[in-house]
Structure formats: structure tokens, C-alpha cells
Amino acid sequence: MHIDPLEKKWLYVALGMVVLFLGSIFLSLALGIKPPSNVETIDSARLHLSEEFAEDNLGVHIQPDGSIKVIMVAGRYGFFPRHITIPADTPITFRWASIDVLHGVHMPMTNMSTMVVPGYVSEVTTTFPKPGDYPMLCNEYCGLGHDYMWSKVTVVAKQTWEREHASKGGES
Amino acid sequence: MNDHQSRRLALWNWTVAFAAFLFASFLGFYQVVERSGLFDFLESPKGYFASVSTHGVLMAYVLTTFFIMGFGYLTATTSLKRPLWQPGLAWAGFFVSLIGTVLAAIPLLTGKASVLYTFYPPIQAHALFYIGAALLVVGSWVWCAIMVVMAVQWHRDNPGRTLPLAMYATVANALLWLWTSAGVALEVVFQLIPWALGWNDTLDPGLARTLFAWTLHPIVYFWLIPAYIALYCFVPREAGGYLFSEEMAKFAFLGLLIFSLPIGFHHLYVDPEQGAGWKLWHGVGTFLVAVPTLVTGFTVLASMEIAGRLNGGKGLFGWIGTLPWRNPMVLAAILALLMLILGGFGGIVNASYALNTMIHNTAWVPGHFHLIFAGTTVILYFAIAYHLWPKITGRKLVSNTLALIQLWTWFVGMTLLSTPWHVLGLLGQPRRISGVTYNSLLTLAWQPYELFMIMGGAVLLGSAVLFGVILWRTWKNPEPETDTGIAYAEPIHPPEGLPAWVENIKTWNLVILVLMLISFGWPIAQFFFLKTYESLPWGY
Ligand code: HEM
Ligand SMILES: [Cu+2]
Ligand SMILES: [Cu+2]
């Protein structure tokens, strides 16, 4: 077998590149950036009977430890509740279930992104540094109304939120 | 001549492939226009999703599968210099795939299978769609079997010799496809068909997505390998030089075969039904497959440099100018490499899951795969066609200049189409939308990019039609082609002293089996242990 010296050098470069990429994956892992993966099942046909995803439990919840949990349902064609208000600079855990088919949720320009698969609960924790109005869009084809599937999220400065919204549990 | 049968098979497989391509290109153009939101009167989700479903299936499954089958028959007979094993079987495979295509096309075109080419349940299509798709794949398995048998027989008759590179890559691709398609085949046969026919009421969408992810990554290498065969086996010779290293080429193909299979979960980074550890493992594997691609880039560029220098090129970059740019194969290779480099950067973003969350399922994704699949891969399919169509029809290529124009316009069109598409993704536009109805300022920022995409789509449609015209007029050309032999590039050094496992199909399969068990064993088995809740079918 002949491996040209130049070829050998290039192989080292290629391996070096791969090590660099892998390093960045492991670095983000060390920083706590990992994909949403909780492998938790739920009966999508009976969400209304589940405690967590029943209609009157949806929305923003302040946990006893001060962290924030948002419980939402994806269904053709919207994310419910249709409008939520949450604080900036605060870790927020979203929990999602689908009432019908596959959906994807994404808030553009943020890493609030997950698939919502019927039969499973999706969970994402993230922090929004920038206050503003964000659309929440469905990014997986879910039927002919797929492009009409969107809701709204208002991110407000932390102090404003604590003053005006915390008492109302985040209702707008 | 002992390759008469394989030429006819190539001719008819390619006729189906390119007819599908041409029709799907018109749909592609309709889509960019419809989805832009700039033409109210065109808006129709019903028409749009029927169109995207048909376009996706025709481009990703029909064009590729028939092209690869035709090319494989030619490669096998001309590189091994032996007649086709069981031509009758090969024709049977062709017809099974063709019938499957027609059966799937009926519900697709009538809007009864607007489930896109990924057909994620629990949205349900007409049963004919799944049955047709299954037959298309079954027909292609016949091709796989013929490729493997021919390689094994050649090994038996030529003890101690190593397979010609083109055939080596073709067999690797046949095995790759058998392993790859098994995932989606399990999904279609055990989940979708019984459910679409009403034998089962429910299925588990999590399991279905897992099985589909098994197929979804390696399938892109199934599509890409013929393009790599052109880069390794035709380009160096057409450029006037030699292949830099046949050994490395074999390692690259083997690496693609083995490492592209156990890594499909990068498509599920943000899915809830698989654990983070499995995603990490598949993510690591995803970066490992970059190595054979980087090796390919090196070998192909080095081979071209040799050719450029043999043609008199001097200095660090002088050899680039002395390459025969007017040779369609060489031109396509240069353009393909440019798009591969750009697409490779995008791929690194997709593969890193910290970055992936920003672009997952946004317009970035179709932007990426049009660049690398419709761009890099398909432009080399064109070049292979220009190279071999005259040889299989026995008619002279009608115009070299037209072929060059077609390749350039495809490149320009694809750049115009896919660059704004990537930007739209970064601006948050979801993929698979038929219009921009969102009541948000964001959509205003999208408009100028939509315009560029329409221009790109128009150039591409023109280029696709030109491709069809060139092939058609060549077929009808009164002037015969005199050089109908198919020749492959010679390596600088004949390969020698390769370890035996490099040629041993049994060893490859064993390694793949172990890796697949590690990567998919528990992730699939878990669905039988978890308390899962299945889904009833939904319309769309
Ligand atoms: C004539 C040039 C082409 C144009 C204008 C075009 C345009 C489009 C558009 C607008 C979509 C819809 C994407 C979405 O809604 O997210 C699409 C989808 C698709 N295209 Fe193309 N395309 C072209 C050529 C090709 C080629 C040559 C291939 C591959 C060989 C290809 C493969 C696909 C696939 C697989 C999909 C399905 C994507 C999905 O379901 O998300 N296209 N194309
Ligand atoms: Cu949706
Ligand atoms: Cu992939």
C-alpha cells in the first residue's frame, strides 16, 4: 500500500478538523447544552383527562423555587395558550404535548425548538436574553393549514414581568 | 459485445429517471413561485402540498433509484468485462420499480397522498402510495442482488485480484442501499401498510420516526456514491491525468458504507422519543463520516492538479487554468466541488446539535439539501449522462457547448436558489410552508429573498429543460457515436498490498451489523418496553 506523504498530512488535517468539531460538541455538553430528550410518554388522545395538559392547567406556572414552567399543547392549527408572556433572562422550561399529529415548534432567532410527537412529552429549557414579541411557528408539516399554525410569545424584561405579570401567573 | 443488455437497461432506467426529473422540475418552479406569497391568485395549500409531495418523491426516490440502477448495470459489465448476470431478472426489477412508481403517482397527483416524501404518520396517505413506494424499493433490491452476485463471481474467477474501483464502489453502494432501505421497509411493511389498509387501527409515531431516521441519513450516500464514482473514475481521465490513489478511494467508499449507517439520529436531535446519550453517539458518528468526504475532496483535487500540470499548468494555481474546462465532466466536477464545500459548511451546522436547534426544520434545511443534493450530486448525474448517453444510444452528443451552458446555468440557478433559502432559515422561516401568512413583521424581511429564489428557480427550470432537449436530440441524432467503449481512470500506482478485509463483503456486513445493533438496538427495542400510546390515522 502506498500513502503519499502529502496525503498523510491531509489525513492528519482531516482528523484534526473532526477532533475540533467533536470538541465543540463535548464543550457544549459540558456547558449544559444538550438536546431535549426526556423519553416520556403520554396518551395524546386523552390529554384533557391528564392533569398536566388539561385545558385549565395550560400556560405559565411559577414553581415554588422561582423557576418558570410553561405547559403548552400543540394541535391543528395553533399552540395553546395562543399568547403567553414570559420574563427575559430567566430559565424557562417548556413542556409540550400534541393532541393530534406531528408538529414542530420554533421561536425564530432562539433555540426554543422541539418536535412535538403524538404519544410523547417534549421538554425544552432555555433562556431568552432579548425582550420582544416573538412568533412561535410550526415547522413540521401537519396538514393543509400548516402555514397558519402559529402563536405569540411576549418576552418582557425581568423586572417588568415581576411587577406586572407574576401575580397573574403570566396571563397577558 | 457482451454489454448490449446493460446498455439497454441503462437507457430505459435513465429514461424513467430523467422524465421524472423533468416533470418534477416544473413542480419545483411552481413551488418557489406559489410559496413566495407574492402572487395571491396562486395561493393553494392543496395544490402546493400535492406538488411538494410529488416533487420530493420524484426527485429523491425516482430520479435517484432509476439513475443508480442504470449506472450500476453499465459499471458492472464494463468494469468487470463480463456479461450481465441474469438480464431477465434485471428487467423484472426495472418493471417492479416502474409499476411501484406509477402506483404511487396516482394518489400523489390526485392529492390523496399529500404527506411529503417523508410521510410521517399519524397523517395518513392512500394505501396505494405506501404500496407503490414499497414496490419501487423492492425492484431496486433486485439490482442490489445482481451487483453483489457479479462482484462475488468475479472474485471467484479472479483469485488474488482486487475489484476495479468503479465496481468496488458500486457493490459498496448496493450493500449500503440494502442496509439503508431496511429501516423504511420495516416502517412501511409493518406499520404503514397494515394501518393504511385498516388491518391495524393505530401505530406508534415515535417508532416510525426512529425507523425512518435509520434510512434518512445513509440514503443520501446512496444518492451521492454515483457522483463520487464519476469524480474518482471519470474525472481524472477526462481531465487528462491519473487517479491520485486508488487505495485511498477504496477506503473512502468503505468508510462511507460503514459509518453512514449507524448515525441517523442527527435527524432526531430535537425529538422527544430518543435519549440524549443516543443522540450524542449518533452525533459523534456523523462527524466521523466527514473523513471519507474530506479524503475524496483531496484525492479528486490532487488528481485534477496532476492533469492540469500534465497539460502544462505552472505555479501554485496555474494548473487550474489548464484544466479542460470545456469538457462537461471536468466542468461539472469543479462546480460540484464548489457546491460541496459550501454545502459542507452548512452540514457542520446541521450536525452540531447546539447549532441545530436554531435551524432545525427551517428553510435552511431545504436550502442545504438543494445545494448539496440537487446541486453537487445531480450536476454529476448530468455529467455522467453527457458522458454515457452517446455511448448507450450510439448517437453523438448533439452539442458540447449546449451541455456546458446547461451545467453552468444549473450551478448559477442553484446558487441563486439556495443562498437566499439559507438566509430565510436564519430569519426563522419554517420549511414546508405553502405561503407566508404569519401576522408578523418577520415576514416582511423574507420578501426580497423570495424574489431571488424565484429567479433561481426560473434559471433552474430552463436548465432542466435544456438537459432534456440535449438528451432527446442526441438520441435522435443521425450522426453515430464512434467511441462507445467506457474507460475508467488509471491510478498513478496500481493498488497493491491492500489488506484482505478491504475486499471482503462478509467482513463489511459483520461490522455493519455490530454497529447497527449498538446504534439502533436499544433505541428500537425500547418501544416494546415503554408504556407507549399509539395514534389513530389523521387526514390532512
Ligand atoms: C428545478 C429546480 C428546483 C426547484 C425550483 C426546487 C424547489 C423546491 C421547493 C420550493 C421545495 C419545497 C420546500 C419546502 O417547502 O420546504 C422543494 C422540495 C424538495 N426538493 Fe426541490 N427544487 C428543484 C430541484 C430539485 C432537485 C434536482 C432535487 C433533488 C434531486 C430536489 C429535491 C427536493 C426534495 C427531496 C424536496 C422535498 C422537501 C420536503 O419535503 O421538505 N429538488 N424543491
Ligand atoms: Cu403544526
Ligand atoms: Cu442525515
| Cβ separation A39–B288 shorter than 8 A | no
Whole-number average pLDDT of chain A: 90
Residue A170 is predicted with a pLDDT of 53
Q: What is the DSSP string of chain A?
A: ----HHHHHHHHHHHHHHHHHHHHHHHHHHTT-------EE--GGGGGGSSTTSGGG-EEEE-TTS-EEEEEEEETTEEESSEEEEETTS-EEEEEEESSS-EEEE-TTSS-EEEE-TTEEEEEEE---S-EEEEEEE-S--STTGGG-EEEEEEE-HHHHHHHTGGGTT--
Residue B315 is predicted with a pLDDT of 87
Q: Is the CB of B374 under 6 A from ligand 1?
A: yes
User: Do the Cβ atoms of B498 and B407 come closer than 8 Å?
Assistant: no
| Cβ separation B535–A147 shorter than 8 A | no
> Which one of B273, B356, B444 would you mutate to disrupt binding with A, by most A Cβ within 10 Å of its Cβ?
B273
Q: Does A117 share its domain with A150?
A: yes
**Cα–Cα–Cα angle for B358, B359, B361, rounded to 5 degrees:** 130
Q: What is the maximal distance between C-alpha atoms in chain A?
A: 74
Q: Is the CB of B56 under 6 A from ligand 1?
A: yes
Exposure of A29 by Cβ count < 10 A (0-12 exposed, 13-18 middle, 19+ buried)? middle
Q: Tell me: pLDDT of B507 over 90.
A: yes
Closest C-alpha residue for ligand 1 atom 15: B432
Interface of B with A in 196-225 (CB under 8 A): 204-206, 209
Residues facing residue A134 across a β-bridge: A153
The arithmetic mean of pLDDT across residues B111-120, rounded, is 96
The answer to whether position A52 is within a domain reads: yes
| Cβ separation A7–B273 shorter than 8 A | no
Gap from B513 CA to chain A (nearest CA, Å): 25
| Cβ separation A29–B431 shorter than 8 A | no
Q: Name the residue in chain B with its Cα closest to that of A121.
A: B272
Count of domains forming chain A:
2
The pTM is what? Answer: 0.96
B209 carries an active-site annotation = no
Between helix B276-288 and helix B290-310 the angle, nearest 10°, is 10
Q: Which of B22, B26, B31, B120 to mutate to test the pocket of ligand 1 (most atoms within 8 A of CB)?
A: B31
The arithmetic mean of pLDDT across residues B143-147, rounded, is 98
Nearest one of B76, B259, B58, B38 to B164, comparing CA atoms: B76
| DSSP summary character for residue B453 | H
Which one from B67, B431, B449, B520 is the annotated catalytic residue?
Answer: B431
Residue A171 is predicted with a pLDDT of 53
Alpha-carbon distance of A162 to A21, in angstroms, equals 40
Residue A162 is predicted with a pLDDT of 86
List the domain boundaries for chain B. Answer: 4-492+501-529
The answer to whether position A49 is within a domain reads: yes
Q: Does A19 share its domain with A52?
A: no
Extract the C-alpha cell encoding B197. Answer: 389498509
Q: Tell me: pLDDT of B443 over 70.
A: yes
In three-state secondary structure terms, B492 is: coil
Q: Confidence band (pLDDT; 50, 70, 90) for A149?
A: very high
Alpha-carbon distance of B241 to A50, in angstroms, equals 69
Cα–chain center distance at A53: 16
Task: Please list every residue in chain A whose beta carbon sits closer than 8 Å to the beta carbon of residue B121.
Answer: 102
Which one from B432, B438, B473, B527 is the annotated catalytic residue?
Answer: B432
Instruction: Give per-residue pLDDT as tens, B282-302.
Output: 999 999 988 999 999 999 999
Nearest one of B224, B222, B170, B223 to B6, comparing CA atoms: B170
Which one from B267, B360, B368, B395 is the annotated catalytic residue?
Answer: B368
Gap from A88 CA to chain B (nearest CA, Å): 18
Which one from B49, B212, B269, B369 is the annotated catalytic residue?
Answer: B369
How far is CA A45 from each of CA A81, B202, B344, B359, rounded to the nearest angstrom?
A: 19, 12, 42, 30
The answer to whether position A64 is within a domain reads: yes
Kindly state the percentage of chain B with pLDDT values over 90: 86
**Cα–Cα–Cα angle for A157, A158, A162, rounded to 5 degrees:** 120
In three-state secondary structure terms, B538 is: strand
Alpha-carbon distance of B214 to B520, in angstroms, equals 8
Q: Is the CB of B165 under 6 A from ligand 1?
A: no
Q: Tell me: pLDDT of B258 over 90.
A: yes
Q: Tell me: pLDDT of A163 over 90.
A: no
Q: Tell me: pLDDT of A5 over 90.
A: no
Residue A168 is predicted with a pLDDT of 67
Neighbours of B483 (CB within 10 A): 9
Q: Does A10 share its domain with A26?
A: yes
- A152 phi/psi in degrees, rounded to 5: -125, 145
Q: Does A45 share its domain with A6?
A: no
- In this predicted structure, which of B50-64, B437-451, B464-478 has the lowest mean pLDDT? B437-451
User: Do the Cβ atoms of B449 and B423 come closer than 8 Å?
Assistant: yes
The arithmetic mean of pLDDT across residues B446-458, rounded, is 94
| DSSP summary character for residue B478 | S
The answer to whether position A172 is within a domain reads: no
Cβ-nearest to A7 among B205, B245, B283? B245
First to last CA, chain A: 71
Q: Does A24 share its domain with A78?
A: no
The arithmetic mean of pLDDT across residues B143-157, rounded, is 96
Task: Please list every residue in chain B whose beta carbon sits closer than 8 Å to the beta carbon of residue A120.
Answer: 206, 272-273
The answer to whether position A1 is within a domain reads: yes
Closest C-alpha residue for ligand 1 atom 38: B56
Dihedral angle of Cα B68, B74, B78, B81, to the nearest 10 degrees:
100
Q: Confidence band (pLDDT; 50, 70, 90) for A111?
A: confident
Q: What is the DSSP string of B260-289?
A: SGGGGGGGGTT-SSS-HHHHHHHHHHHHHT
B370 carries an active-site annotation = yes
Q: Is the CB of B410 under 6 A from ligand 1?
A: no
| Cβ separation B540–A39 shorter than 8 A | no
Residue with cell 413542480: B27
> Which one of B254, B271, B440, B492 would you mutate to disrupt binding with A, by most A Cβ within 10 Å of its Cβ?
B271
Instruction: Give per-residue pLDDT as tens, B327-373.
Output: 999 999 999 999 999 999 999 889 887 888 899 999 999 999 999 99
Neighbours of B401 (CB within 10 A): 8
Q: Does A157 share its domain with A112?
A: yes
Positive/negative CA dihedral, B418, B424, B425, B426: positive
- Domain residues for the domain of A46 are 41-167
The arithmetic mean of pLDDT across residues B146-166, rounded, is 94
User: Do the Cβ atoms of B17 and B66 come closer than 8 Å?
Assistant: yes
Q: Does A152 share its domain with A102?
A: yes
Exposure of B414 by Cβ count < 10 A (0-12 exposed, 13-18 middle, 19+ buried)? buried
Gap from B192 CA to chain A (nearest CA, Å): 15
Between helix B4-35 and helix B64-80 the angle, nearest 10°, is 150
Extract the C-alpha cell encoding B92. Answer: 423484472
Kindly state the percentage of chain B with pLDDT values over 70: 100
Residue A1 is predicted with a pLDDT of 73
| Cβ separation B533–A43 shorter than 8 A | yes
Q: Does A104 share its domain with A159?
A: yes
- A107 phi/psi in degrees, rounded to 5: -100, 110
Residue B445 is predicted with a pLDDT of 87
Alpha-carbon distance of A21 to B384, in angstroms, equals 34
Alpha-carbon distance of A48 to A54, in angstroms, equals 4
Instruction: Give per-residue pLDDT as tens, B206-255.
Output: 999 999 999 999 999 999 999 999 999 999 999 999 999 999 999 999 99
Q: Tell me: pLDDT of B390 over 70.
A: yes
Which one from B266, B282, B370, B395 is the annotated catalytic residue?
Answer: B370
Instruction: Give per-residue pLDDT as tens, B174-207.
Output: 999 999 999 999 999 999 999 999 999 999 999 9
- In this predicted structure, which of A23-32, A91-100, B99-108, B138-147 has the lowest mean pLDDT? A23-32
Alpha-carbon distance of A20 to B415, in angstroms, equals 29
B360 carries an active-site annotation = no
The one-letter code for the residue type at B191 is: Q
Q: Does A13 share its domain with A74?
A: no
Nearest one of B413, B439, B422 to B363, comparing CA atoms: B422
Alpha-carbon distance of B529 to B540, in angstroms, equals 31
Gap from A32 CA to chain B (nearest CA, Å): 10
Extract the C-alpha cell encoding B495. Answer: 493498488
**Cα–Cα–Cα angle for A94, A96, A101, rounded to 5 degrees:** 155
Cα–chain center distance at B394: 27
- With a CB cutoff of 8 Å and minimum separation 6, the contacts of B407 are B328, B331, B332, B335, B379, B382, B383
How far is CA B403 from each of CA B66, B467, B488, rounded to the nearest angstrom?
A: 22, 7, 21
CA of A137 to the centre of ligand 2 (A): 8
Q: Which of B63, B370, B379, B432 to mutate to test the pocket of ligand 1 (most atoms within 8 A of CB)?
A: B370
Nearest atom, ligand 1, residue B453 CA: 5
Q: Is the CB of B250 under 6 A from ligand 1?
A: no
Cis amide bond preceding B122, omega within 30? yes
Q: Is the CB of B282 under 6 A from ligand 1?
A: no
Q: Name the residue in chain B with its Cα closest to that of A97.
A: B272
- With a CB cutoff of 8 Å and minimum separation 6, the contacts of B330 are B235, B238, B239, B304, B323, B324
Gap from B71 CA to chain A (nearest CA, Å): 29
Residue with cell 458504507: B257
Nearest one of A146, A36, A121 to B123, comparing CA atoms: A146
> Which one of B116, B124, B270, B353 would you mutate to disrupt binding with A, by most A Cβ within 10 Å of its Cβ?
B270
Nearest one of B410, B524, B497 to B462, comparing CA atoms: B410
Whole-number average pLDDT of chain B: 94
Alpha-carbon distance of B141 to B26, in angstroms, equals 30
Closest C-alpha residue for ligand 1 atom 33: B56
Q: Does domain B4-492+501-529 have CATH number 3.40.640.10?
A: no
- In this predicted structure, which of A35-49, B269-283, B504-518 has the lowest mean pLDDT? A35-49
Q: Is the CB of B457 under 6 A from ligand 1?
A: yes
| Cβ separation A101–B275 shorter than 8 A | no
